[in-house]
Amino acid sequence: MIKNVFEGTVAYSQVMDENGKIDEQLFPKDVDDSMILEMYKKMAFARALDAKILSLQRQGRAVTYAPMVGQEATQVGAAMAMGPKDFLVPNFRQHGVFLAMGFPLEDIILGWRGYEESQKIPKDIRTLPIAVPVSTQMPHGAGVAYAQKYLKTGGAVLAWVGDGGTSEGDFYEAINFAGAKKVPMVTIIENNGWAISVPRGEQTGAQTLAQKAFAAGISGMQVDGNDVIGVYKAVKEALEAARSNNVPCVIECLTYRMSMHTTADDPGKYRLESDVAPWLPRDPILRVRKYLESKGLWDGAKEAALGEEQLKRINAAVEVAEQFKPDPKGMFDNVYSFMPEILQEELDAALAANWWQQAKEE
Ligand SMILES: Cc1ncc(C[n+]2csc(CCOP(=O)(O)OP(=O)(O)O)c2C)c(N)n1
Ligand SMILES: [Mg+2]
Nearest-CA residue for ligand 1 atom 7 is 134
Average pLDDT over residues 301-311: 98
Within 6 A (CB) of ligand 1 lie 93, 132-134, 162-165, 192, 194-196, 257, 261
Ligand 1 atom nearest to 133, measured from its CA: 26
Q: Which residues contact 324 (CB under 8 A, 6 or more apart)?
A: 106, 110, 113, 115, 117
Count of CB atoms situated within 10 Å of the CB of 6? 6
Q: What pLDDT does 130 receive?
A: 96
Q: What pLDDT does 358 receive?
A: 67
Q: What is the per-residue pLDDT across 19-60, written as a single tens digit (0 to 9) for each?
A: 999 999 999 999 999 999 999 999 999 999 999 999 999 999
Q: What is the per-residue pLDDT across 198-255, written as a single tens digit (0 to 9) for each?
A: 999 999 999 999 999 999 999 999 999 999 999 999 999 999 999 999 999 999 999 9
Distances (CA, A) of 186 to 82, 146, 229, 238: 11, 12, 17, 7
User: Which strands, in side-by-side order, build the sheet including 12-13?
Assistant: 12-13, 219-224, 249-254, 185-191, 157-162, 87-89
Q: What is the per-residue pLDDT across 54-106, written as a single tens digit (0 to 9) for each?
A: 999 999 999 999 999 999 999 999 999 999 999 999 999 999 999 999 999 99
Q: Which residues contact 200 (CB under 8 A, 6 or more apart)?
A: 163, 191, 193, 194, 209
> For a pocket test of ligand 1, which of 94, 134, 136 has the largest count of ligand atoms closer than 8 A to its C-beta?
134
For the chain, residues classed under CATH 3.40.50.970 are 12-326
In CATH, what number does 12-326 get? 3.40.50.970
Ligand 2 centroid–CA 194 distance in Å is 4
Global pTM? 0.95
Phi and psi at 126, nearest 5°, equal -90, 85
Question: Is 270 tagged catalytic?
Answer: yes
Q: Are strands 12-13 and 219-224 parallel, antiparallel or unpaired?
A: parallel
Catalytic residue among 93, 261, 282, 287: 261
- pLDDT bucket at 128, cuts 50 / 70 / 90: very high
Average pLDDT over residues 149-172: 98
Helix %, strand %, coil % for the chain, to 5? 50, 10, 40
pLDDT at 320 over 90: yes
Nearest-CA residue for ligand 1 atom 8 is 134
Question: Is 257 tagged catalytic?
Answer: yes
> Which neighbouring-strand residues pair with 253?
190, 223
User: Half-sphere exposure of residue 169, counting CA atoms within 13 Å on the CB side?
Assistant: 0
> Which neighbouring-strand residues pair with 13?
223
More confident residue, 189 or 331: 189
DSSP-derived 3-state class of residue 136: coil
Q: Which residues contact 356 (CB under 8 A, 6 or more apart)?
A: 327, 328, 329, 350
Phi and psi at 163, nearest 5°, equal -60, -45
From the number of C-beta atoms within 10 Å of its C-beta (0-12, 13-18, 19+), residue 33 rates as: exposed
- pLDDT bucket at 333, cuts 50 / 70 / 90: confident
Instruction: Report which secondary-structure segment, H or E, holds 13.
Output: strand 12-13
- pLDDT bucket at 125, cuts 50 / 70 / 90: very high
Count of CB atoms situated within 10 Å of the CB of 320? 14
Question: Is 261 tagged catalytic?
Answer: yes
- pLDDT bucket at 361, cuts 50 / 70 / 90: low
Q: What pLDDT does 362 receive?
A: 60
Q: What is the per-residue pLDDT across 243-290, written as a single tens digit (0 to 9) for each?
A: 999 999 999 999 999 999 999 999 999 999 999 999 999 999 999 999
Percent of the chain with pLDDT over 90: 92
Ion ligand 2 — residues with CB < 5 Å: 162-164, 192, 194-195
Ligand 1 centroid–CA 261 distance in Å is 9
Q: What pLDDT does 360 receive?
A: 60
